[in-house]
Structure 1
């Protein structure tokens, strides 16, 4: 049961760090289109980027799961028991 708790905890930590990190990178790389905002009326301005589901939505949980698996295996091997 401890192995599952270690895996879940490390998965959540890795997923949270990857989400925050990718959000920071995407925010830094975002270039707003200011030409369309001058023409748009106040009622039609949309906030946020419009895009479909990208590969990043599937890639981050996969990376987090692999990281969590490696961390939990390393911690369990160090403690000397596998259950």
Structure 2
């Protein structure tokens, strides 16, 4: 899986969280952001689940298009060099 271990050296986390807020509607507090950052090394699916959990969304029951939108937004900001 190529996106399981992305390079975080050039990730602008402020930009990533701003995009999550403006594009997908997940405006996370600092504690939630830290959980997402901690989950990123485990892969984009783990980070997506962390975003949903931080916002109080029941991930197993969340619509697939919402999960995809969150994952795609994260992926756009965590690309290998």
Work out whether the TM-score is over 0.5: no
- Name the one with the larger helix percent: 1
Give TM-score, length-normalised by structure 2: 0.35
Indicate the structure whose relative CO is greater, using CA pairs within 8 Å and at least 6 residues apart: 1
TM-score (norm 1): 0.34
Larger Rg: 1
